[in-house]
Amino acid sequence: MKPFRIAVFASGSGSNFQAIADAVQTGKLDVEVGLLVCDKPEAPVVRRAEAAGVETFAFRPKQYASKQAYETEIVRLLQEKQIDLVVLAGYMRIVSGTLLEPYEGRIVNIHPSLLPSFPGLDAIGQALAHGVKVTGVTVHFVDGGMDTGPIIAQRPVEVAEDDTADTLAAKIHRIEHELYPFVIRGIASGNVSLAEDGRRVLWK
Ligand code: GRF
């Protein structure tokens, strides 16, 4: 049987990429990581992918005429590698229709807050500034909006009075590293579907 193939998209450190690659390596996640896509060739995640033996497409957006041009190249690669699911893990670019349309319902993202609270950049800083007592992690399907797609799974994280951006980020990362492999496993085994309302996500 053809393995379920994922492509991870990331722009920075890549600790979520690492958690996914480790889960695959240790047999806890039965998928193949077919590609890493990175818009910053110098990002640490590129070295992590090399070390894990994952093929990488690292590109500089400025070397392309437009977003459509580089996303067209990415779609070509995803199709060539028969990718089933696109996993955004700290990919700091808005995905446009060029990629969204061919992969509709097959792109997921992880966000460090309990959406719909604190979408967009610096969700952890936003949560601290707001003074919430609980924040968390959300994995959702990607649609055309900013962190607005159907929610697949969420986990809460308590905010302590002495939490700083760094200590809260560390707590959130720990949860992310468990939650993302768990959700990918659910999708790969066909246990996750979208309800008829196009909004609620159902788990088997
Ligand atoms: C994570 O906190 C994720 O929720 C957000 O970007 C961060 C990426 O971290 N979308 P890393 O590069 O996986 O360490």
Of the three residues 41, 69, 104, the one that is the final residue of a domain is 104
Query: What is the CB < 6 Å shell around ligand 1?
Result: 10, 12-16, 89-90, 110-112, 176
One domain, residues 5 and 87: yes
What mean pLDDT value characterizes the chain? Answer: 98
Kindly state whether residues 114 and 69 are assigned to the same domain. Answer: no
- 97, 118: one domain: no
Interval 9-25: pLDDT, tens: 999 999 999 999 999 99
CA of 172 to the centre of ligand 1 (A): 9
AA letter at 124:
I
Confidence at residue 1, expressed as pLDDT on a 0 to 100 scale: 79
pLDDT tens for each residue of 45-100: 999 999 999 999 999 999 999 999 999 999 999 999 999 999 999 999 999 999 99
pLDDT digits (tens, 9 = 90+) for 158-181: 999 999 999 999 999 999 999 999
Quick one: 3 and 30 in the same domain? yes
Whether 9 and 96 map to the same domain: the answer is yes
Q: What ranges in 9-164 are assigned the alpha helix state H?
A: 15-25, 44-51, 67-80, 97-100, 123-130
pLDDT at 2 over 90: no
User: What percent of the chain stands above pLDDT 90?
Assistant: 99
Task: Indicate which residue's Cα is closest to atom 10 of ligand 1.
Answer: 90
Give the C-alpha distances (Å, rounded to integers) separating 29 from 20, 43, 138, 180: 8, 25, 19, 10
HEC string of 31-66 equals CEEEEEEECCCCCHHHHHHHHCCCCEEECCHHHCCC
Q: Are residues 15 and 95 in the same domain?
A: yes
Whether 55 and 134 map to the same domain: the answer is no
Look at ligand 1, atom 6, and give the residue with the nearest C-alpha.
90
Q: What residues make up the domain containing 41?
A: 1-104
Q: Do 116 and 165 have their domain in common?
A: yes
DSSP three-state, residue 183 = helix
Name 47's Cβ contacts closer than 8 Å, sequence gap at least 6.
Answer: none
**pLDDT-based confidence at residue 29 (cuts at 50, 70, 90):** very high
CATH code, domain carrying 24: 3.40.50.170
| Same domain flag for 93 and 114 | no
Q: Does 75 lie in the same domain as 57?
A: yes
Same domain for 128 and 180? yes
Q: What percent of the chain has pLDDT over 70?
A: 100
Residues 140 and 150: their CA atoms lie apart, in Å, by: 5
Report pLDDT for 155.
99
**Do 94 and 116 belong to one domain?**
no
Residue ending a domain, among 82, 104, 126, is 104
What local confidence, expressed as pLDDT, does residue 85 receive? 98
CA–centroid distance, residue 168 to ligand 1 (Å) = 13
Q: Of 60, 87, 104, at which residue does a domain stop? A: 104
Region 123-130 average pLDDT: 98
CA–CA distance, 8 with 89 (Å, rounded to integer): 7
Q: Count how many domains the chain has.
A: 2
Residue nearest (by alpha carbon) to ligand 1 atom 9: 90
